[in-house]
Structure 1
């Protein structure tokens, strides 16, 4: 029989775990947004003080309200969003003041003002944020009592003071804009790493179901990581452009923006790679391919080095390029398509396997380009795919004069970039 006390203990344990999880998540949010909340608190207090000192308003609550709303809780607020909110706030206060001075306060007047402000906001801008600010500010003007000494235009002046204080504090206290990009890039590369590990596990075990699960996962979530990084790039670029404290980081912001170009292509390639691996393992009836798994883990190691480089103040991709060179050394059909018994796949498996190898080579080129290499130099760092037939043996052969004319060896410049150069291809070591 079931023990009721054990059942109660289970429910209590679940409740404890749920509360612990919520407290942990709340603490994490608090730590993440502590700086932004502090900025909002300072902006609200400073706007209130300035309105009181400059304009002589006894209770300038609109200054505090506006300043706090514009700063908000977000740590990645873009200047475009700040300007949009400021415009909405000012328009809403002006509409509220105009309505209060013409039709006066009251129940039906509130309905008229909210309806009119909402329609005007939708006419001027499609953003919900702008419409919300126009409507709520006009409503606040209508429902709040007039404080002693407040003139009809006083609330407009208070709102303008709050807007000015909020924008100045936002521009002067944005911090390092690269931190926003780094968080997004770290999450992005972590997704790449996790997918590579799952695909390596599928190749080593020959289990098609593991590869199918990895394919489903990367299809569902990969685009969101790319979009998050794009938004972070836009926010960081605006910070570096408009904020005097963030301008010195403009070069680093641009470097991390450039990193997304090749990385985005790599993420798209990874979705195709996962699908090709599913098709390859299906064609070879689930044979184990440990060399393919080793190649995928080498790609994972290179991506780990990319993620580590992003967190550095002076982004250096030297280690990442060396790891990518190791990954590239695996990328020939002769190495990757043999199973653990040394047997080559049949006709169907060979076709699927070759397409997988080509896609992996494309991934290596994308990641090398992300570190600053030109496409032509990145391609020269991969092993040759030129083959020659000798009876029944087909595979790489020493380059003849004719082959050299088609595929020149890796250039000295490409090798120097691989070993010594940093993220900016124009920055050479003397």
Structure 2
């Protein structure tokens, strides 16, 4: 396919990043500006730069903006400022004092927290506090840092990012990958095509990053919803997503088991029509589970579809006289159906009871 300059320099990725970051940018602008105004005009500090930098650094543009994460970053920066101000009182300021300050700050930060980001945040603020001119009153910059950190946490609660939208976007990406992997495995089983089956297994193994992104945005959203008065109405929706995510994590793992079984069984290049058709039905039901994230009315439809599959998942009855390998393939679909039933809201015990005993 020819590649033109318009393709190479497409503005769409940049516009997508801007669209996804505007709330985070607004948070940073409000927090940093507010911290500067409080430090400059309310407290009379001549250069409250640290108040603004703490706000900017603690919020950031990262997807994980849960209040605890913001608070931990703030504590790290305040640790660096405190140590820098204390050491400046004892040894003064200069190049070798900067080296000592950075060494002490990073060692103390590593002792206090296992997070490397905590130590780096502390070191950055310690360096800024040490390099800036001496403040008229000791520990003034620590107060600026406290102001910036408090405003960062307050803005996280009062001007929250849209956690439900971010989690929903990541959930859709995961289900799209799940559907693609299942479709390849279905084709491999129906045609006895080992290459298609291997590609489906590869796609199933590659679902972990999408699931991790969904989990990160969902946990961030739940954390924000617990403290934000504007997002309490979204907690039920986010809790339902958390239940679906947990079940789909298990379903993803079982899809890999199914994929490995298909790759093994179709080694003889013979089509496995019955298991392929059953897996296709399961994949369609999984699509309904994904659709239920946007429309909860799809949830009972997905549950009934899965129950219809579960009630006849008896390998001996569906594949009389077939090889043990093919019956084992059909048996490997049973845990996958149970996980998807749990994703629709069915209790695990009831989901397991829906499968015939063998």
TM-score by length of 2: 0.90
CA positional deviation for 1:15:
5.7
Q: 1:18 aligns with which of 8, 14, 33?
A: 8
Instruction: Give the match's secondary structure for 2:345.
Output: coil
Q: 1:262 aligns with which of 247, 266, 277?
A: 247
Question: After superposition, where does 1:93-172 map in structure 2 within 5 Å?
Answer: 93-146=81-134, 150-172=136-158
Structure 2 counterpart of 1:289: 272
Whether the 8 Å CA contact 2:173–2:210 is kept in 1: the answer is: yes
Matching residue within 288, 305, 309 for 1:323: 305
Encode CA deviations 1:391-421: one digit per residue, 9 max, x unaligned.
Answer: xxxxxxxxxxxxxxxxxxxxxxxxxxxxxxx
**3-state SS of the aligned residue for 2:127?**
helix
Residue 310 of structure 1 aligns to a residue in which SS?
A: coil
Q: Which of 283, 288, 295 matches 1:305?
A: 288
| Range 263-272 or range 324-333, more displaced | 324-333
- Write the distance in 1 (CA, Å) between the matches of 2:172 and 2:219: 17
Is the alpha carbon distance of 1:375 and 1:103 closer, same or farther for their aligned partners in structure 2, counting shifts above 3 Å? closer
Tell me, yes or no, if structure 1 residue 369 matches structure 2 residue 342. yes
Q: Does the 8 A contact of 1:47 with 1:67 survive in 2? A: yes
Q: Corresponding residue for 2:184? A: 198
Query: 1:52–1:59: 8 Å Cα contact kept in structure 2?
Result: yes
Distance 1:119 1:171 in 2: 32
- Give distance in 1, aligned partners of 2:348 and 2:29: 50
Q: Following TM superposition, by how much is the alpha carbon of 1:38 offset from its aligned partner in structure 2, in angstroms? A: 1.5
Task: Check conservation: 1:305, 1:319, Cα contact below 8 A.
Answer: yes
Spell out the pairing of 1:269-418 with structure 2 (5 A cutoff): 269-282=254-267, 285-312=268-295, 317-328=299-310, 331-333=313-315, 337=319, 345=322, 350-379=323-352, 381-382=354-355, 384=356
- Ranges in structure 1 where 5+ consecutive residues have no aligned partner: 1-9, 339-343, 387-430
Distance of aligned partners of 1:201 and 1:123 in 2 relative to their CA distance in 1, 3 Å threshold: same
Tell me how large the CA RMSD over aligned residues is.
2.4
3-state SS in 2 of match to 1:301: helix
Whole-angstrom distance in 1 between the partners of 2:203 and 2:128: 47
Deviations 1:368-392 (A, max 9, x none): 112121344334545x567xxxxxx
User: Within 2, Cα distance between the matches of 1:337 and 1:30?
Assistant: 54
CA distance in 1, matches of 2:143, 2:33: 16
Q: Whole-Å Cα distance in 1 between the matches of residues 190 and 275 of structure 2?
A: 8
- CA distance in 2 between counterparts of 1:258 and 1:106 reads 55
Change in CA separation of 1:16 and 1:336 when aligned onto 2, cut-off 3 Å: farther
What's the secondary structure of 2:292's corresponding residue? Answer: helix
1:63 aligns with 2:68: no
More displaced, 360-369 or 315-324? 315-324
| CA displacement 1:134-192 (0-9 Å, x = unmatched) | 11111001112347xx4222211111111111110011122553334323322222222
> In 1, are the aligned partners of 2:71 and 2:149 still within 8 Å (CA)?
no
Contact kept? 1:291, 1:335, Cα under 8 Å: no
Counterpart Cα distance in 1 of 2:266 and 2:68: 49
TM-score (normalised: structure 1): 0.76
Of the three residues 5, 9, 26, the one matched with 1:38 is 26
SS at match of 1:81: helix
Structure with bigger gyration radius = 1
The Cα offsets for residues 58-113 of structure 1, whole Å up to 9 and x where unpaired, read as 33211111111111112431222111111011111111212222222211111111
Match of 2:227 in 1: 242
CA separation of 1:107 and 1:238: change in aligned 2, threshold 3 A = same
In 2, the alpha carbon distance for the partners of 1:271 and 1:184 equals 20
Q: 1:32 to 1:176 in 2, by over 3 A?
A: closer
Larger helix percent: 2
Q: Which residue of 2 aligns with 1:81?
A: 69
